[in-house]
Structure 1
Amino acid sequence: MKQLILFALMLIPAMSLSAQEHKYSEHYYERINEFAQQAPITQQDIVMLGNSLTEFAGDWSARIGKPHIINRGIIGDEAMGVYDRLYQILPGKPRKLFLLIGVNDVSHNLSADSIVGLITLIVDKIRQDTPTTKLYLQSLLPINESFHQYRLLTGKTDYIPLINKKLKAMAKSRHIKFINLFNYFKEKDSNSLKKEISIDGLHLNENGYAIWCKRLKQFLQ
């Protein structure tokens, strides 16, 4: 019996470690490994940090027409996923960092305050570890439920502006720039994402990325 108890106790740390190692998706860890093989981020770099919306943009430098823009988006990522991989970014003290995260946390049915609280952890960590980095917090983009592609986002269309309002207030309290993208992507007289700039009610097509890049160029001088 004692041997069984000891064996069980020995398993607990191993199980905990395994759970930690698989906390996020397989793609998350594939991207982490990919980033580790790339040249380290430096003080001349501009980092685009976020989820699939960021990753799917591909070569941000080519889109913006400016060198040294690094894509650090991961499909399916959430606020804590971003927080847990800041160790790959912050030591390089990038010149600028553009953060857009939160829609996957919305799909997890977290409250607006919880989502903003998690994003605040990211913001505070960045400001603490690399105060020379110019940080830009971008609003969540709208969604369009009429595509019927994302069951976990059902009923969340009007929830996103509430989160953005709280993010804007948080950014103001921490004296960082808040970029309100939402209004440029939504349909007139609605909080829904414009159908013509989306492929599935969440992700953007090339026209959508053109709008995003146009809004960012003024902050990339």
Structure 2
Amino acid sequence: MKTKRYGCIVLITLSFCVLNAQNKTIDTTYRPKTYNVQVRQFKSYPDNPNDIVFLGNSITARAHWNELLGLPDARNRGISGDTTFGVLERLDEITEGKPEKIFMLIGINDISRNFPDSVILGNYEKIIQHIQSKSPHTKLFVETILPVNSNFKAYERHYHKDNHILEVNKGIKELADKYSVTLIDLYPLFLDNEARLDAKYTDEGLHLNEIGYLHWKKILQPYLAN
């Protein structure tokens, strides 16, 4: 009996430690340092029903969408380092203007922070539901998460998580189908022959360079014309 009781205590202790370790990896309160000031800036800008919003993290934030696309109504709502939790928190600023279109690319920072697939996709579903509820006439385009290239060394936390990216992208596709949202499957269009982010599109294995953005532009053009 003593041996069995001791074994139960060890099992309970180990289970608690595992759960505690998992909780430490999921910081839902994390926001980038510039998050608050950027959201306040976004709120200070006038809204227009013709707005075409690009929503996401640094991959979105680094593009000059007006110049890249030649669209005066393009609005950059990317925040470097943002996650699906951050997008959810600032989504009212997006939907209150009832924009014509929203193009959303988000999730790689969630993956870098080891958020479980179910958490990321749960947030995705909440984002889609919020947009469809608060701005039902807005056309929403969800884009699959881009691949990374672990041959580079600048962003080690984001590398070697290709299967995680694939699983989340699978879930994004399922949500797009479930909610009749237009899917733009970016992931395969940026791969090299070894299933990595093609080095011609990046300088450090995570973000896009000018060639990468021009490639993205070509992919988006049919969706911008409608």
Normalised by the length of structure 1, the TM-score is 0.85
Q: 2:35 aligned with 1:28, yes or no?
A: yes
**Cα distance in 2 between the residues matched to 1:70 and 1:127:** 19
Q: 2:162 aligned with 1:175, yes or no?
A: no
Cα RMSD (Å) of the superposition? 1.3
Deviation of 1:183 (Å): 1.1
Deviation of 1:163 (Å): 1.2
Aligned to 2:127: 122
* Structure 1 SS opposite 2:77: strand
**Cα distance in 2 between the residues matched to 1:50 and 1:117:** 17
Aligned to 1:192: 196
Residue correspondence of structure 1 range 86-105 to structure 2 within 5 A: 86-105=91-110
Residue correspondence of structure 1 range 79-158 to structure 2 within 5 A: 79-158=84-163
Aligned to 1:213: 217
**8 Å contact 2:148–2:159 — kept in the other structure?**
no
Q: Deviations over 1:128-172 (max 9, x none)?
A: 111100000001000011112222224202321221111101110
Paired residue total: 197
Q: 2:61 aligned with 1:55, yes or no?
A: yes
Q: 2:83 aligned with 1:78, yes or no?
A: yes
**8 Å contact 1:145–1:157 — kept in the other structure?**
no
Aligned to 1:66: 71
Unaligned runs of 5+ in 1: 1-21
**Cα distance in 2 between the residues matched to 1:70 and 1:102:** 20
* Structure 1 SS opposite 2:125: helix
Q: Deviations over 1:4-57 (max 9, x none)?
A: xxxxxxxxxxxxxxxxxx851221112112213322x22111100000000000
Aligned to 1:42: 48
Moved more, 73-82 or 157-166: 157-166
User: Identity across aligned pairs (percent)?
Assistant: 37
Unaligned runs of 5+ in 2: 1-28
* Structure 1 SS opposite 2:154: coil
Normalised by the length of structure 2, the TM-score is 0.83
